[in-house]
Amino acid sequence: MSAPKPATPIGLDPRWLAVADALRRETCLLLAVSGGPDSMAMMAGLAFARDAGALGAQLHVATVDHGLRAESAQEAALVEEAAATLGLACERITLTAPEPVGSVQAWARAERYAALASSARALGAAIATAHTADDQAETFLMRAARGTGAEGLAGIRAQTVLEGARVIRPFLDWARADLHTALGGAPVGAVDDPSNADARFTRVRFRNWLADAPQPDSDRSVAAGLALSADIASRESAALDHYARDVLSHFEGLNAGYAIGSLDAEVPNAVLGRALRSALLTVSRRSASERGLDLARACEVAERLAGEPQGTWVGGGAHLNWQRKTAGIDPEQKPTAQVSVQLVAEEGRRPFPESTIEPGAQAVWDGRFEVANRSGRPICVRPWSASLSPVVLKSLPKAVLCTLPVALAGDHLVAVPRVLEEALMCPANPQVSIRFVPPKRALLP
């Protein structure tokens, strides 16, 4: 298959002008083009907008060859040819990761975005995708069927950051058909990916269901209505995150690998659950895929915390203790119940490690702390213990201290996390540093 030679329409559709205006602050865009009809239409339309002087951003194209089908290399070549016809440089990215064990689509998405993000960072560009309201509607239905709240129903975000690169989706309020009709009949070649019609995939089954769904009693299509619901859910989710951050602001230690504080037991469960999940994700020793800390589970823990006088919960690589007590009286003479909370990493069956870091090397200790050894000798990184220092620490509970790393050269303490520097009378060491690295999804205040 050869790529057609698109011709710029005489009059650019106003819808493209509106997108160009929304992108006016962008200086460089990396267009993620799979070769399918939607992404090919996006590439052509934005190139036309650039040629018409409506879009000032530099445009680059990247296409990812996942290596999952025999035709994938030929399809990547088609994208390169179409991009060249439009005067756009195109980078072909060939994935070399091992074949996935679980979901092929999930693997392909994760690897694709990691590769695109690497290219975008090198260019100083934002990644632009061709997701439409139809894609949003499919995602909404898939997540609703699994069971979720506002966070999940928010679906595809109009803007997000993945792997350190900004991702923008300027066509989320467009119907899929609009991407093509707005080109005014300009020919755009596209590949035919059989997986888009393979009913073994969940998204395809929901896409087929949407095509046959009864129309509502309004001028808005089913897909448009579901996409609007996703947008509303996104706004509600952002509001809940805002209040969850306020709850987290009453904890100390979240930037150091633990959480100690108090909270109001009457905080709504949806807010408290989000705050607890974020704190658990921050403190946990496990990787994101191992934690299993979904929002529903966190809300169950929050319900226990608000309703039980005291308790313990262990899971997801973290250990939570709480003690409820009656605090002061508010201006209306209504007692307010406060809950004291302590959240630390759980040692469990996997002891905190003891590892050696050679001179000039850098390593991650226990999946939570980044340790850099710029000295001229090896260091040993191990969890704190009372035998390491004659200082009796009263500023932090022992349960917290035992989860934090210290660095030794021989028998000498050479570095500790910042939270311990003053307590252990161990000043910052320019040659050895220990820094807590919170997870990307944490809602730190």
Model confidence at 232: pLDDT above 60: yes
If pLDDT is split at 50, 70 and 90, which confidence band does 11 have? low
Q: Which of 187-191, 335-339, 353-357, 397-401 has the lowest mean pLDDT?
A: 187-191
Per-residue pLDDT at 122: 96
If pLDDT is split at 50, 70 and 90, which confidence band does 2 have? very low
If pLDDT is split at 50, 70 and 90, which confidence band does 82 have? very high
Cα 329 from Cα 312, distance rounded (Å): 27
State the average pLDDT over residues 24-35. 95
Does 397 lie in the same domain as 276?
no
Per-residue pLDDT at 20: 94
Looking up tokens 């905080």 gives 267
Helix, strand or coil for residue 75? helix
Cα separation values, 24 from 20, 29, 56, 133, Å: 6, 11, 7, 22
State the average pLDDT over residues 422-443. 80
Establish if 78 belongs to a structural domain. yes
The phi and psi torsions of 224 (rounded to 5 degrees) equal -65, -40
Q: pLDDT tens across 158-178, in order?
A: 999 988 899 999 999 999 989
Does 203 lie in the same domain as 98?
yes
Does 387 lie in the same domain as 338?
no
Does 254 lie in the same domain as 219?
no
The better pLDDT of the pair 67, 4 is held by 67
Cα 332 from Cα 397, distance rounded (Å): 35
Looking up tokens 């090397």 gives 361
- Residue-number span of the structural domain to which 418 is assigned: 355-436
Return the structure tokens found at 73.
């290399």
Examine the fold and report which residue of 307, 323, 345 is the final residue of a domain before the chain moves on. 345
Does 135 lie in the same domain as 32?
yes
Per-residue pLDDT at 288: 44
Cα separation values, 440 from 100, 161, 380, 443, Å: 23, 10, 27, 9
Does 337 lie in the same domain as 362?
no
Q: pLDDT tens across 380-398, in order?
A: 999 988 666 545 566 788 8
Model confidence at 445: pLDDT above 60: no
Model confidence at 208: pLDDT above 60: yes
Does 179 lie in the same domain as 67?
yes
Per-residue pLDDT at 133: 94
Per-residue pLDDT at 441: 63
- Cβ contacts of residue 117 below 8 Å, gap of 6+? 127, 162, 163, 164, 165
CB-CB neighbours of 156 under 10 Å:
20
Q: 206: closest CA among 147, 144, 267, 161?
A: 144
Does 261 lie in the same domain as 200?
no
**Structural domain count, the chain:** 3
Cα separation values, 332 from 97, 124, 262, 328, Å: 62, 55, 21, 11
If pLDDT is split at 50, 70 and 90, which confidence band does 75 have? confident
Does 359 lie in the same domain as 329?
no
Establish if 403 belongs to a structural domain. yes
For the chain, give the longest Cα–Cα distance.
81
If pLDDT is split at 50, 70 and 90, which confidence band does 331 have? low
Per-residue pLDDT at 12: 79
Q: 95: closest CA among 121, 71, 72, 79?
A: 72
Examine the fold and report which residue of 225, 241, 268 is the final residue of a domain before the chain moves on. 225
**Would you report the helix, strand and coil content of the chain in percent, each value rounded to 5?**
40, 20, 40
Does 322 lie in the same domain as 198?
no
Per-residue pLDDT at 91: 95
State the average pLDDT over residues 336-350. 87
Query: Which percentage of the chain shows pLDDT scores above 90?
Result: 53
Per-residue pLDDT at 8: 47
Helix, strand or coil for residue 429? strand
If pLDDT is split at 50, 70 and 90, which confidence band does 218 have? confident
Q: pLDDT tens across 92-126, in order?
A: 998 876 666 667 777 888 889 999 999 999 999 99
Is-contact 406 226, C-beta < 8 A?
A: no
Q: pLDDT tens across 183-194, in order?
A: 876 656 777 666
Examine the fold and report which residue of 306, 327, 345 is the final residue of a domain before the chain moves on. 345
Does 363 lie in the same domain as 331?
no
Cα 192 from Cα 153, distance rounded (Å): 29
Does 206 lie in the same domain as 97?
yes
Per-residue pLDDT at 391: 54
Q: Considering the chain, what is the average pLDDT of its residues?
A: 86
The better pLDDT of the pair 283, 195 is held by 283
The phi and psi torsions of 426 (rounded to 5 degrees) equal -120, 95
Establish if 152 belongs to a structural domain. yes
Query: Which percentage of the chain shows pLDDT scores above 70?
Result: 85
Model confidence at 369: pLDDT above 90: yes
The phi and psi torsions of 315 (rounded to 5 degrees) equal 175, 160
Establish if 350 belongs to a structural domain. no
Establish if 186 belongs to a structural domain. yes
Establish if 442 belongs to a structural domain. no
Cα 50 from Cα 31, distance rounded (Å): 13
Establish if 3 belongs to a structural domain. no
- Cβ contacts of residue 59 below 8 Å, gap of 6+? 29, 31, 46, 47, 50, 88
Cα 54 from Cα 351, distance rounded (Å): 59
Per-residue pLDDT at 104: 74
Helices (H) and strands (E) counted in the chain, each on its own, are: 14, 18
Cα 160 from Cα 165, distance rounded (Å): 8
Residue type, 169: R
**Burial state string for 251-283 with b = 16 or more CB within 10 A and e = fewer than 16:** bebbebbbbbbbbebebeebbbbbbbbbbbbbb
Establish if 230 belongs to a structural domain. no
Per-residue pLDDT at 90: 95
The H or E element containing residue 263 is: strand 259-264
Q: pLDDT tens across 244-284, in order?
A: 999 999 999 999 999 999 988 889 999 999 999 999 989 98
Cα 12 from Cα 51, distance rounded (Å): 10
Cα 243 from Cα 418, distance rounded (Å): 28
